[in-house]
Chain A
Amino acid sequence: MPATFSRTPTDIERKDTGIGGKPPVDRRPTGGGGGDDNWDNHPSGRRGPRELLTRYRLGLSCALAGDLIFFIALVSAFFVHQTAGHFDLRENYVSDWHPLTIPPILWINTAVLLLSSLTIEIARRHLFHEVDVMEEWLGLGRPAVRRAAPWLIATVALGSLFLAGQWIAWSQLASEGLTFTTTQNSHFFYLITATHGIHLVLGILALGIALCALFLLRRVQMRQIVVDVAAWYWHAMGIFWIFLFVLLTCFQ
C-alpha cells in the first residue's frame, strides 16, 4: 500500500514548543530569501516567520475578492432599476426611478467608520512592533497585547456606533414614509445597507473573538494573525462602504 494514503490518520504534527517559531515583526529582513518562485533561492525547511501570516492574509484576500463580486452583483440591481420605467396611456416612457435623499447622518456614520479603521490599524501595528513582540516571544510579559487591546475595544465601540447610526438613518427614512417596500430605490437602499451592516456585525464578532484571543492564545504568532485578519477585513468593509456611500449619494 502506498504511504500517501493509509487507513489510520498519519498526519504527524511537527513538535510544537507551545510558543511557536519566531513571530513576524514590522521590520522586514533585508537580503537573502528572494521573493521569486524558485525554491532553490529560498532557505529550506520553514520559509521564514511570515509564512503562516501570509497564508492567512492570502485566504482572506481571496474571500474578500468573492465578497466584492457579491456586492458588485447586488449593485448591478441598482443600475438596472435606474433605467426601469413604463409607457403611459399616451405611449410616453415614464421613468419609475425616484431619487432618494440620503439622510445626512450617513456623513457622520462614514466619518465614524473611517475613524474605526484608524483605531484598528493602530492596534494591528502595535502587535507587530518588534521590541514588544520579541519581549512577548521570550516570555517577558505581554506589552504588545496591553497596548493593542484598548484600541481594539475602541474599534468595537466605533463599529457599534456606526451600526447605531445606520439604524437611525433607517428610522429617519421610515418616518418620511420610505420603508423597505416603498420604491425600487428604497428596496435597494435598505438591502444594500442591511447587507453591509450584516458584514459589519460579523466584523464586530471577529473583533470580539480577536480580543479574547489576545488574552487566551499562547502563541504570539497566532495572536498576531487573528488581529491582522480581523483588521484587514475591517478595512475592506470600510472601503466597500465608501464605494456604496458614493453610489448612494452621487449616482441617484
Chain B
Amino acid sequence: MSQIMHKKVARRSKIFTTDHRSIGINYLLLSLVAVAIGTILSLFMRIHIIAPGWKIPFWGVVPPEGYLALVTMHGTLMVFFVLTTAPVSGFGSLILPTQIGARRMAFPLLNALSFWLTTLSLAVLLAAFFVIGGAPISGWTNYPPLSAIAAAGPGQAAGMDLWLVSIGVFCLASILGAVNQLTTIIAKRCQGMMLMRMPLTVWSWLVTAILILFAFSILLAAVVLLFSDRHLATSFFIPSGEVINGLAIDPHANGSPMLWLHLFWFFGHPEVYIAILPAMGLTSSLLANFTRKPVFGYRFMVTTTLLIGFFGLLVWGHHMFVSGMNPYAGTAFALTTMAIAIPSSGKVLGWLAMLWRGRDSRVHPLPTPMLFTLGFLSFFIAGGLTGPILAQPVLDAYLHNTYFVVAHFHLIMAMAGVFSLFAAVYYWFPLLTGRLMNERLGKWHFWLSLIGAYGTFFPMHFAGLAGLPRHYAQLTGSTSTLASFLPLQTGITHTAFLLAGAQLLFLINLFWSAHRGQSAGNNPWLATTLEWAAPAEGCIVRRGPYEYGFHRNLPDFIPQCAEDPEQE
C-alpha cells in the first residue's frame, strides 16, 4: 500500500517537477501527442484528395473549408509543437545541461513554467476543433486580411482567436525557454568546458536560442497586432476597400497585409533553422561517434553554424516573391538565400568527408541511430538541392503555389528534422531507461520510413513541375489535367499510409524496449561527451568533445572529463 502511494508521489513529482530530465521527457511526450495528431490529420488530407466522398468517423464528409482547416492545424502542430518543441525544448532540457556538466538549468522553475505554458498552448490550439466554426482555415501562415476578419470563413471567428492565443502563449514559452538555455550555456558550464570544447549540439542550441529570441519576439508582436485588428477595430493589416464574402469591410481601413507577411516570415524563416540546427549538431556528433573519427573541422562546423544562424535572419523575403513585394527586394533576398547555401553545403561536405572510408573504423555494424543520421543526411541533400531552385524569383513565380514547394519543405524540414529526432531517441534512449532499443525493429522502422518518406514526397516534385496547385481541397473534378494526376496522388496516399504505419513499429519498439530491451551499460556507444561519462561531483573537462580514434595503444576514445592518459 505504502509502495503504491510512494509510486504515485513519485509519478506526480515527475510531472510537477523542476528537474530538467523530467521536464525534457515531458516535452518529448507532448511532442509525441502532437505528432500523432498531426499525422492523423495529414492522413485525412491524403484520403480526401483521392476520395472526396469519404466520411471521416465522427465528422462526416470533409467540406472544402474543412480541408483547409486540416492543412492549417497539421502545419501548426508539426511546425510548432513537433519540430520546435522536441529538438529545442525537449532534448534541450534533457541533454543540454548534462552535456555541459551542469546539474540543472540556470532557472529550473522557469523551465517548468515554459513547459506548462507550452502544454497550455497545445490545449488551446486543439480546442479550436471544438468551437463553433471549427479550426481556422487560413493556413499556418494565416495571411491577413482573411485571418483578420471573422466573416472570412467558418473557422475564422473563434477558431482563429484560439489559434492566436495559442501561438501567443507558445511564443512566450519559447522565449522564456531560450532565455533559460542561453543563460545555462553561458553561465553553467562546468570547470574546463570552454566555448571551443562544447559539443556541436550545444553550439546548435546556443545559436537556436538566439534565433528564438529574435524570431518569436517578432511573431508575438505580429500576433498582438493581428489580435488588435480583430478585436479592437484597428487596421494594421486590413487594406482599404476590402470586400469579403460580398461585405465591404471597414472603409476607413488602410493597413498593409504586407506588414504581416514581413513580420511573419521574419519569424518563419529563422524558425526553419531553429528546427534544423539541433539536427545538424546531432548529426556531426553522431557521425563522429559511429565512424570513430573526430568531427571534420570542429571550428569549421562552429563557424558554419553561426553563419547559418546569421544568414537565417536575412532571407525571409524568399517566401514572398509572389506577394507583390518590390522585385528589387526579391533579387536581394535571392542573393542572401543562395549565400546561405554556402555554409549549409559546407556542412554537408564535412559530413561526407567524415563518412569517407568510415567503414574501416566503425565499431557497430550500422546501428539504428547511425542509419537515421544517414537518413537525415539523405533528406537534407535531396531537399536542399531544390532550395536554390526555389530561391530564383523567376522560377518561384511558377513553382510557388504548386506541390513542388510542398515536396521541398517536407523533405528538408519535416523529414530531415524527424529523422534526426529518431536518431536522437535511438541514441539517447539508454540514458533514459538503461536499455538499448531493439535493433531489428529499429532497422525495419528505418527502411520502411525511408521508403515511405521518399515515396510520399519525391513524386510531389513532378506533380509541382506539372503545375498541380497546393492548398486545394478537390482536384478530382472533370478538368482533364487535374484528373490525370489522380494515379500519382493515389500512389502518394498509399506510401503516406506506409510512412505512418511504420511509425507504429517505433511506438512498439519504444514501449517494448523500455521494459524488455537489452541492458545498455554505462556507455553503450563508447561516446566521449559528458552525458555518458556520469560525472558525479566536481567534474573537470580536460579536452575537446570528439577525441575518437587518435591513440593507437589506448582505447579509441577519451571522454571529455577523463584524466590525462599517461605518456608512454
Chain A residues packing against B (C-beta within 8 Å)? 1-5, 7-9, 11, 37-40, 42, 44-45, 51, 54-55, 58-59, 62-63, 65-67, 69-71, 73-74, 76-77, 80-81, 84-86, 96, 180-181, 184, 187, 191, 195
Other-chain contact of A86, B13, B194, B254 (Cβ < 8 Å): B254
B21 at the interface (CB under 8 A from A): yes
- B152-189, CB < 8 A from A: 175-176, 178-180, 182-183, 186-188
CB distance from B511 to the nearest CB of A (A): 16
A180 near B213: Cβ-Cβ < 8 Å? no
Q: With a CB–CB cut-off of 8 A, which chain A residues contact B183?
A: 55, 58-59, 62
Bound together, the chains give a CA A42 to CA B540 distance in angstroms of 12
Tell me, in angstroms, the Cα distance from A4 to B232 when the chains sit together: 52
- Write out the residue numbers on chain B whose beta carbons fall within 8 Å of the beta carbon of A81: 236, 254-256
Per the bound structure, the CA–CA distance linking A86 and B186 in Å amounts to 50
Is A187 within 8 A of B434, CB to CB? no
Q: Is A66 within 8 A of B217, CB to CB?
A: yes
Interface residues of B in 192-234 (CB under 8 A from A): 192-195, 213-214, 216-218, 220-222, 224-225, 228, 232-234
Interface residue stretch chosen among B364-372, B461-469, B529-537:
B529-537
- Bound Cα distance A8, B14 (Å): 9
Beta-carbon contact of B217 and A73 below 8 Å: yes
Q: How large is the interface on B (under 10, 10 to 19, 20 to 34, 35 or more residues)?
A: 35 or more
Partner of A66 from the list B178, B256, B523 (CB cut-off 8 Å) is B178
Q: Is the CB of B195 within 8 A of A180?
A: no
Q: Given A77-B259, A86-B240, verify A2-B522 contact (CB < 8 Å).
A: yes
CB distance from B205 to the nearest CB of A (A): 14
The answer to whether B21 and A44 have CB atoms under 8 Å apart is no
Question: A76-B262, A80-B258, A81-B254 are known contacts; what are 13 more A-B pairs with Cβ within 8 Å?
Answer: A2-B534, A3-B522, A7-B10, A37-B195, A44-B538, A55-B187, A58-B183, A62-B178, A67-B217, A74-B221, A81-B255, A187-B234, A191-B228
**List of A residues within 8 angstroms of B536 by Cβ:** 3
State the main secondary structure of chain A at its contact with B: helix
Q: How far is the CA of A70 from the CA of B13 in the complex (A)?
A: 35
Once the chains bind, are A66 and B259 in contact (CB under 8 Å)?
no
CB within 8 A of B186: which of A8, A38, A58, A80? A58
How far is B187's CA from A180's CA once the two chains are assembled, in angstroms? 44
From B74-82, B101-109, B123-131, give the one contacting chain A. B101-109
Choose from B191, B255, B532 the contact partner of A39 (Cβ within 8 Å).
Answer: B191
A192 to chain B, nearest CB (A): 11
* A187–B236 CB distance below 8 A: yes
A5–B175 contact, CB under 8 A? no
A53 to B368, CA, bound (A): 44
B338 interface residue per 8 A CB criterion: no
Question: Is B431 close to A, CB under 8 A?
Answer: yes
Residue B244 CB within 8 A of the other chain:
no
A62 touches B213 (CB 8 A): yes
Question: What chain B residues lie within 8 Å of A5 (beta carbons)?
Answer: 21, 431-432, 434
**Contacts A9-B19, A69-B214, A80-B259; A63 near B431 (Cβ below 8 A):** no
Contacts of A1 in B (CB 8 A): 434, 520
Complex contact A11–B179 (CB within 8 A):
no
Query: How long is the Cα–Cα vector from A40 to B197 in the complex, in angstroms?
Result: 14
Residues B431 and A4 in contact, CB atoms below 8 Å apart: yes
Q: How far is the CA of A219 from the CA of B523 in the complex (A)?
A: 40
Q: Is the CB of B180 within 8 A of A59?
A: yes
Within 8 A of A (CB), among B510-534: 520, 522-523, 531-532, 534
A39 touches B224 (CB 8 A): no
CA distance A8 to B19 in the complex (A): 11
Query: In the complex, what residue of chain B is closest to A62 when comparing beta carbons?
Result: B179
Given the known interface contacts A11-B103, A80-B256, A180-B232, the answer about A73 and B179 at a Cβ–Cβ threshold of 8 Å is no
